[in-house]
Amino acid sequence: MMSHQVCAALACYVVVDGGLVAPEAQLNLVETLCRHGATMIQLRDKQAEDRLLVEQARRLMPICRRFQVPLLLNDRWHLVQEAGADGVHLGADDGALASVRLRLGPGAIIGRSIDVPDEAMAGHDYFGLGPIFPTVTKLDAGPVVGLKTLAAWRSRIPGPLVAIGGIDAERAEAVIHAGADGVAVVGAVCLAADPGEACAKIRQAVERGLARRRQAQGVQQ
């Protein structure tokens, strides 16, 4: 996938966590999210057996295909092809880029979580940086990055960047203005009383942030 296509797919990136949303509820949730502005879906389930994760991804893929929204697996790159998914999001220790790319091929989306810019190795399709704000949906998250550090680090990260951690509709615009190409959200959508409305508001905030950044860049030029 081309860099500009990846940037577009990162705009409103929703992580559907099996610890927050039961498998039987995920199908309706993912369809709702795709209808309300989600641009990428990641299926994350740390506890599910490989077989069950593959089965669930296969159930979600037709929905994502219908809306042209990529579906990624979390961590388990060895299951991507079997599941028919579009790619994988890797943690820091989830596989060497060369091995994963060789297995999945040039068309797969491969993202990587980083804590600092020095971990951002060129060749990944995007990087995930966070937590930008405190979060309760990832207990092993590193130190809070904050908006000022995000802005200071952006030029040192060689590729599209999605920010994650404690982001909601009220914070998304500022995160984009600070340099992220998109926001990844978990609890702000998966735990919302109305996930579709929450997703739509986040997408709108991201679009405002992108417009604000383009305007600032135009003024500078």
Which tokens in the block code for residue 177?
């203005």
Catalytic annotation, pick one of 113, 171, 201, 203: 113
Residue with tokens 């069950």: 52
Is 113 a catalytic site residue?
yes
Residue 176's CB is within 10 A of a number of other CB atoms, namely 24
Q: Is 87 left (phi over 0), alpha (psi -120 to 50) or beta?
A: left
Q: Is 86 helix (H, G, I), strand (E, B) or coil?
A: coil
Which tokens in the block code for residue 5?
């296509």
- Count Cβ atoms within 10 A of the Cβ of residue 122 and give its class: 0-12 exposed, 13-18 middle, 19 or more buried: exposed
Distance of alpha carbon 128 from alpha carbon 182, whole angstroms: 10
Catalytic annotation, pick one of 138, 171, 201, 203: 138
Amino acid at 131: P
Which tokens in the block code for residue 167?
């982001």
Catalytic annotation, pick one of 44, 76, 112, 203: 44
Cβ–Cβ < 8 Å for 69, 38: yes
Q: Which residues pair with 162 in a beta bridge?
A: 128, 182
Residues marked as catalytic: 44, 113, 138
